[in-house]
Amino acid sequence: MMELDRRFATALKNLSDAPPPMAEAIRKQDGMSEAPDVLIFSPAFTTMDIHRPASLLALTSTHWAIALSSGLAADKTETPENISVDTSPYSHTLVVALSILLLDGRLALHASGNTSTALVVYFNTVMEKIYREAAFFALDRIFAGTGETGEESPRNRNFSKTGLSMKFHSALERFTPPDRSVHSYVAWPAAFGGFHRQLSPAAMLVRTENELILISDEAPSGGLFHSPQQNLGYVVTYMPRKRIRAVTCRPGTKLSTLEITLAADNMAESITVLVPPETTADAKSVAVGNG
């Protein structure tokens, strides 16, 4: 067993390298008999006075599993009685989401079952890259399981910067899976009400051959900004296009609501996007694939 770094997340080669109670909990899950292609251990940590549990994320060719440890023994190791574990096949996975807020990172996998549930692993964003790559792997496996091919077009990373802030241009490069083509996108600024109260964050909607990607600013809690330029991170929501069942729009005076419904295994989930009225038509066009 390799020596684990108890400060930051570590990509592991084998389950035998993970803390034994967490590795054993993963092995017992359906669909986890094969060696994981992606295996990441994150130790427990505290950020912004919030305690985050230790986690073990395992991705195989057909399933993913997450083990969380809610407490440590006196010797700072994980104990079996404090471990919970969840797993799902990619065929039941609706949404993959990354959240980056200062040093607090989250990878959420939304799975259909008796209810639509988001399973979350937390990590120090110093190690964001390995979780971003894990998200890309999961998206590839979701798409591979459909048995269908995506839209074909030449790979396009040299898209125009027109209408994009440098922050969103950088985010588009950073969070678009590396083998995808950007087919279309639309971006819009944050909306503010009285007393600098944020009504909706700056965001952009991106369509590739396989996914619809929503990239939005992560705002301070409470929705209060003292400067329209202030933002603290990103929330990136990946919606596999093969899971999208409907896109509906409710026009509004200050903000319109775009609702994207995804479904798998007879379970549905909706993602709500707030869009300025003047951008609504373009956003819906990107979402439904007409742009």
The region of weakest confidence among 46-50, 180-184, 233-237 is 46-50
Whether pLDDT at 237 is above 50: yes
- The rounded mean pLDDT for the chain is 84
Query: pLDDT value at position 39?
Result: 96
Average pLDDT estimate for 154-165: 57
Average pLDDT estimate for 108-113: 86
* pLDDT tens per residue, range 208-223: 999 999 999 875 554 4
Whether pLDDT at 155 is above 50: no
Query: pLDDT value at position 149?
Result: 47
* pLDDT tens per residue, range 64-100: 999 998 765 444 566 666 898 999 999 999 999 999 9
Average pLDDT estimate for 198-204: 89
pLDDT confidence tier of residue 45, bands split at 50, 70 and 90: confident
Average pLDDT estimate for 157-178: 79
Average pLDDT estimate for 270-286: 95
The region of weakest confidence among 69-78, 96-105, 257-266 is 69-78
pLDDT confidence tier of residue 13, bands split at 50, 70 and 90: very high
- Taken as a whole, the chain contains a residue count of 291
CATH classification (class only), 172-288? mainly beta
Query: pLDDT value at position 30?
Result: 81
CATH number of 10-144: 2.30.29.30
Domain positions in the chain are: 10-144, 172-288
Query: pLDDT value at position 154?
Result: 44
Query: pLDDT value at position 162?
Result: 62
The region of weakest confidence among 34-43, 219-228, 229-238 is 219-228
Query: pLDDT value at position 194?
Result: 77
The region of weakest confidence among 50-54, 205-209, 235-239, 246-250 is 50-54
Q: How many CB atoms lie within 10 A of CB 185?
A: 23
Give percent of the chain with pLDDT exceeding 70: 80
pTM for the whole structure: 0.88
Inter-residue contact 285 to 207 (CB < 8 Å)? no
Give percent of the chain with pLDDT exceeding 90: 54
Q: Per-residue DSSP letters for the chain?
A: -PPPPSSS-EE-SSGGGS-HHHHHHHHTSTT--SPPSEEEEE--EEETTEEE-EEEEEE-SSEEEEEEE--B-TTS-B-GGGEEEEEEEGGGEEEEEEEEETTEEEEEEEEESSSEEEEEEEEEGGGHHHHHHHHHHHHHHHHHTTT--------------TT--HHHHHHHHHHS-TT--EEEEEEE--EE-GGGBEEE--EEEEEESSEEEEEEEEPPTTSB-SSTT---EEEEEEEEGGGEEEEEEE--SS-EEEEEEEEETTEEEEEEEEE-GGGHHHHHHHHHT--
Distance CA 74, CA 108 (A): 30
Q: Which residues are within 8 A (CB) of 278 and not within 5 positions of it... i.e. 6 or more apart?
A: none
Inter-residue contact 38 to 109 (CB < 8 Å)? no
